[in-house]
Amino acid sequence: MADSWVDPAEGLGADLHLELSGPGGRRAALTRALREAISGGRLAPGTRLPPYRSLAADLGVARNTVADAYAELVAEGRLTARQGSGTRVAERAEPLEVRGRVSEKAPPRARGPRHDLRQGTPDVSAFPRAAWLASYRRALRRAPHKAFGPGDPAGRIELREALAEYLARARGVRTEPGRIVICSGFAHALRLLFPAVLRGPLAVESYGLAFHRELLTAAGVRTVPLALDEDGAQVGGLAGERAVLLTPAHQFPTGGPLHPVRRAAVVDWARARGGVVLEDDYDGEFRYDRKPVGALQGLDPERVVHLGSVSKSLSPALRLGWMVLPERYVDEVLAVKGAREAWAGVLDQLALADFVGSGSYDRHVRRMRQRYRGRRDRLVGTLAAHAPHVEVTGIAAGLHAVLRLPPGSESSTVEAAVRRGLALDGLAEFRHPEAPEAMTAPDGLVVGYATPSEHAYGAALEALCAALPPP
């Protein structure tokens, strides 16, 4: 007998695939199909079934056939029928012992660390839900019909215009919307740039995010470590490469800005060699003690690709980022993206355009800057009181700090932290695997202070102090 997709306009609110087959008449087949859908979990407890009339019409059976099948399942306790609320799957549609067996098979829930001091995630409880919703509503209301057609691979013009204005004003980026390509975050930008647009090896800071190095390696790009010191990357050490990836505003993860002399030097290097600097501006908005460090791109928009995303400022789950490109790369990057936008959803793009354009982004960043500064100050204050022998560095910006440890104590300190329910990383986690001994940083812990909820932060700091080596 026939299969049917049921899409009742009145009530079920979801498609239901029923296969009427097997022995007996249609009523038996329908009863069996519904019973299987309930016991298999395809029809969850509480789900409203279609009215007799529409299910009968969809399946090509008599109304009474549906009524009889429902009645039989009501009698079995699998469905409930109530005046006014229609026929629904019963809250406990399956006998308890079946549920027991299912839950026995379910894997035990993994228990995470008690305190998460890993870098990488902003305070997700502070996502600006109300302001984002307001932007989303406005964006949806104002979107022209054609916004719902295939997307422009450069990204929505509204977003590129808003970002051009914001990045110029807040980060000192020199650009116009035609040089901006929207992508789904920094990692996506790397995938778009390599190896189709930028070929050959890429110099990277000797400490950085392993995920990004691995992504590049998987794309066939060789990464070459560049030494770091307290002034940032030693750009004088650039050798045969034609491209270098830097975190100029806030070296990741050690924490200092690239010295102005080196900023100028790396741009000179790019000009002289026909090379390019990739600027990862992952948390440029979060600077606490000094004047913001402007984007390196401002020194030479034709030699620097500026890359940013909302992962630290709003949420890494939004997957929205931007590339500000030298003119000569725009067409190539768009060619790599293809004829249509395939990553960044139009409503998120339009919502972000509104969020930036309406000033909500500025307000949110200012609010978060204050909150993170408070967290940072609490970290510094707690360490000064309870572990004054531990130096804290990289604290002028960002959402993490580096705690310097006595030589040889890094891995045992990380282990002690884990025993106390803390998740955090030692600096070694970030070291380029090919970095020679001379490039090895002193022992240290990378402490992210954005992730714990406000009420859990004090306990996390206490656990941290208890895990630190004694003076």
Ligand X SMILES: Cc1ncc(COP(=O)(O)O)c(C=O)c1O
The residues binding ligand X (CB under 6 A) are 120, 185-187, 209, 247, 252, 280, 282, 309, 311-312, 316, 321
Q: Tell me the β-bridge partners of 205.
A: 226
Pairing of strands 400-404, 422-423: unpaired
Q: How far is the CB of 190 from ligand X (least distance, A)?
A: 8
Nearer to ligand X, 252 or 457 (CB): 252
What tokens appear for 94 in the block?
């399956």
What tokens appear for 260 in the block?
């102005």
Q: How far is the CB of 9 from ligand X (least distance, A)?
A: 41
Q: How far is the CB of 307 from ligand X (least distance, A)?
A: 8
CA atoms within 13 A on the CB side of 168: 12
Q: How far is the CB of 162 from ligand X (least distance, A)?
A: 18
Tell me how long the chain is: 471
Residue 314, classed as helix, strand or coil, is coil
Nearer to ligand X, 151 or 398 (CB): 398
Neighbours of 276 (CB within 10 A): 23
Nearer to ligand X, 44 or 210 (CB): 210
Q: Which of 348, 352, 353, 342 is nearest to 152 (CA)?
A: 342
Q: What's the gap between Cα 264 and its chain centre?
A: 32
**What is the residue whose two structure tokens read 């310097």?**
404
Residue 378 φ/ψ, nearest 5 degrees: -65, -40
Q: Where are the beta strands (DSSP E) in 378-457?
A: 391-393, 400-404, 422-423, 425-426, 444-448
Q: How far is the CB of 282 from ligand X (least distance, A)?
A: 4
Q: How far is the CB of 417 from ligand X (least distance, A)?
A: 20
Nearer to ligand X, 162 or 187 (CB): 187
Bond from prior residue into 128 cis (ω within 30 degrees of 0): no
| DSSP-assigned letters across all residues of 16-47 | EEEE--SSS-HHHHHHHHHHHHHHTTSS-TTP
Q: How far is the CB of 186 from ligand X (least distance, A)?
A: 4
Q: How far is the CB of 188 from ligand X (least distance, A)?
A: 6
Give the N- to C-terminal CA distance of the chain in Å, as an integer.
Answer: 80
Nearer to ligand X, 65 or 309 (CB): 309
Q: How far is the CB of 147 from ligand X (least distance, A)?
A: 24
Q: How far is the CB of 79 from ligand X (least distance, A)?
A: 46
Nearer to ligand X, 209 or 397 (CB): 209
- The answer to whether 252 and 282 have CB atoms below 8 angstroms apart is yes
Nearer to ligand X, 78 or 188 (CB): 188
d(CA 359, CA 313): 14
d(CA 462, CA 129): 31
- The answer to whether 401 and 450 have CB atoms below 8 angstroms apart is no
Nearer to ligand X, 204 or 350 (CB): 204
Q: How far is the CB of 248 from ligand X (least distance, A)?
A: 12
Nearer to ligand X, 190 or 414 (CB): 190
Spell 173-195 as b/e; 16+ CB within 10 A means b. Answer: bbbebebbbbbbbbbbbbbbbbe
What tokens appear for 412 in the block?
């045992």
Nearer to ligand X, 252 or 372 (CB): 252
Nearer to ligand X, 56 or 266 (CB): 266
Q: Tell me the β-bridge partners of 233.
A: 228
Nearer to ligand X, 247 or 451 (CB): 247
Q: How far is the CB of 225 from ligand X (least distance, A)?
A: 15
Name 227's Cβ contacts closer than 8 Å, sequence gap at least 6. 206, 233, 234, 237, 438, 439
Name 276's Cβ contacts closer than 8 Å, sequence gap at least 6. 198, 242, 243, 244, 270, 303, 304, 305, 326
